[in-house]
Amino acid sequence: MAWSATLRLVALAGLLAQDASAQTGSARGSDFLRFGCSQLVIERTDPLVNPGMAPSPHMHQIVGGDSFNITMDPMTIDPPKQSRCTSCKMSEDFSNYWTASIYFRSPENGTFKRVPQMANGRLNGTLLEQEGGITVYYMQPFSGRNKKVTVMKPGFRMLTGDPTLRTKPAGSMKVCHRCLAKNERIMGGNGAPCDSGDTSEFPSKPCPGGIRATVIFPSCWDGKNLDSPDHKSHVAYQPGSALAGDQCPSTHPVRIPQVMYEIMYDTSGFADPKYYKNGQPLVYSFGDPTGHGQHGDYLFGWEDGALQRAMDALGTNCFSETCPVLKLQSPEKEIACTKAQQAKENIGTDQCSCNF
Ligand SMILES: *[C@@H]1O[C@H](CO)[C@@H](O)[C@H](O)[C@H]1NC(C)=O
Ligand SMILES: *[C@@H]1O[C@H](CO)[C@@H](O)[C@H](O)[C@H]1NC(C)=O
Ligand SMILES: *[C@@H]1O[C@H](CO)[C@@H](O)[C@H](O)[C@H]1NC(C)=O
């Protein structure tokens, strides 16, 4: 990897906490928008894969606009119009972002506990998503001269990762886990997303500082379809790399902002080495004890023009969480945006709403 690209990746991972404006030339790292979204609701619904189902097969942690619903037909729902609030820092963003919950299965007695989420404390606490939400990135291409991206259209949605996977997929990792030491709990650890320190599977050792899961979405779109039957075929990764450069395949020529999630799971209460004697004890809510099946769902819901405005300003007037071309709301307002469960269920830590 080229030197400047390496630096960019390093910066992306938050290792270089200094302001992007202090960096120079091609080594400038902050060609991305990044913000925290606090929890909207934890429930078994999935308007993308299982529209209309309550409960859907497995538990999700959902953030974003409160127009989130069991069914979100793009013909009838317009998140910016129908939401009253968003749990995201950027108040023009009513998109929805969701991922699966993790459970600890006690090797001693077989009972389950939901692993709580925790805040992502990057950049000295500017990403303190309370109630443990999701950190969302919108990134420009990492290499290449043409960094312009075209923002997705209303109604756009996509999924990445595959809940049926139980072995490591070929190619560069799109979904991964980082095991955090105690002293990495706040900053989330060093290194680029899904680098060699991360694993496709669950970490095999205790993670007293938590687990940071990363989900990297495709950055190329066919330019026509807002969705596809598998929720994947209308988008593609740049061949050869999950973190994109500027070369989209001819089948998917439109370069969209690359969406990435970071989800912090608080495994500090499950880090006793005795739980790891016969293999790691964690399992995803969709019944995956390997971790390879982790996935993320995305439903576009920005107000007209707002995201394009931010993407066009990246590198000049918009750096990670500092983006004056967007409207930001207070942490109090962000946290106050929650939604009652529609699929009513105990999400306490004493049971597993898993599909085994
Ligand atoms: C969900 O959608 C239904 C049907 O369109 C609607 O009646 C209901 O108000 C929505 N619920 C919430 C909580 O948004
Ligand atoms: C099962 O074991 C876990 C620790 O492995 C413990 O926290 C929990 O209280 C136990 N539950 C029961 C019902 O014994
Ligand atoms: C983090 O922010 C606090 C409060 O603004 C400040 O006192 C502290 O020095 C900062 N720490 C670092 C490492 O920048």
Domain ranges, ordered by start, for the chain: 5-68+79-122+132-143+150-161+174-336
Q: Which of 103, 105, 106, 282 to mutate to test the pocket of ligand 2 (most atoms within 8 A of CB)?
A: 106
CA 241 to each of CA 174, 188, 237, 346: distance values in angstroms, whole numbers, following the listed order: 9, 23, 7, 40
Higher pLDDT among residues 212 and 19, named by residue: 212
Distance 318 CA to ligand 1 centre (A): 35
Distance 342 CA to ligand 3 centre (A): 40
pLDDT of residue 126: 74
Residue 348 zone, left/alpha/beta (φ > 0; ψ -120 to 50; rest): beta
pLDDT of residue 22: 31
332 lines ligand 2 (CB under 6 A): no
Residue 13 has pLDDT above 50, yes or no: no
Question: Closest-lying ligand to the alpha carbon of 124?
Answer: 3
Q: What is the dihedral of CA 264, 269, 274, 278, to 10 degrees?
A: -40
pLDDT of residue 15: 32
Contact 245, 226 (CB under 8 A): no
Contact 290, 201 (CB under 8 A): yes
Order across the sheet with 220-221: list the strands: 235-236, 220-221, 254-255
Distance 111 CA to ligand 2 centre (A): 6
Distance CA 113, CA 234 (A): 37
Q: How close are the terminal C-alpha atoms of the chain, in Å?
A: 41
Q: Which of 108, 112, 274, 350 to mutate to test the pocket of ligand 2 (most atoms within 8 A of CB)?
A: 108
Quote the distance between the C-alpha of residue 125 and its chain's center. Answer: 18
pLDDT of residue 19: 32
φ/ψ of residue 161, rounded to 5: 85, 175
pLDDT of residue 319: 86
- Of the segments 9-23, 55-69, 202-216, 241-255, which one has the largest average pLDDT value? 202-216
Residue the block writes with tokens 């129908």: 82
User: For residue 106, which atom of ligand 2 is closest to its CA?
Assistant: 5
pLDDT of residue 123: 64
- pLDDT over 70 percentage in the chain: 88
At 223, the pLDDT band (50, 70, 90 cuts) reads very high
Q: Which of 109, 268, 349 to mutate to test the pocket of ligand 2 (most atoms within 8 A of CB)?
A: 109
pLDDT of residue 145: 74
Measured CA angle at 266 (ends 93, 92), to 5 deg: 5
Residues 6+ apart with CB under 8 A from 72: 47, 48, 51, 96, 299
pTM of the model: 0.89
Across 25-29, 149-153, 242-246, least confident range: 25-29
Residue 17 has pLDDT above 80, yes or no: no
pLDDT of residue 7: 39
Residue 117 has pLDDT above 70, yes or no: yes
Contact 92, 85 (CB under 8 A): no
Mean pLDDT along residues 143-170: 92
Contact 96, 65 (CB under 8 A): yes
Residue nearest to atom 5 of ligand 2 (CA): 106
At 20, the pLDDT band (50, 70, 90 cuts) reads very low
Distance 21 CA to ligand 3 centre (A): 19
Residue 298 has pLDDT above 70, yes or no: yes
pLDDT in tens, 55-110: 888 888 999 999 999 999 999 999 999 999 999 999 999 999 999 999 999 999 88
**Mean pLDDT for the chain overall:** 87
At 23, the pLDDT band (50, 70, 90 cuts) reads very low
Kindly calculate the radius of gyration of the chain based on its CA atoms and give it in whole angstroms.
Answer: 19
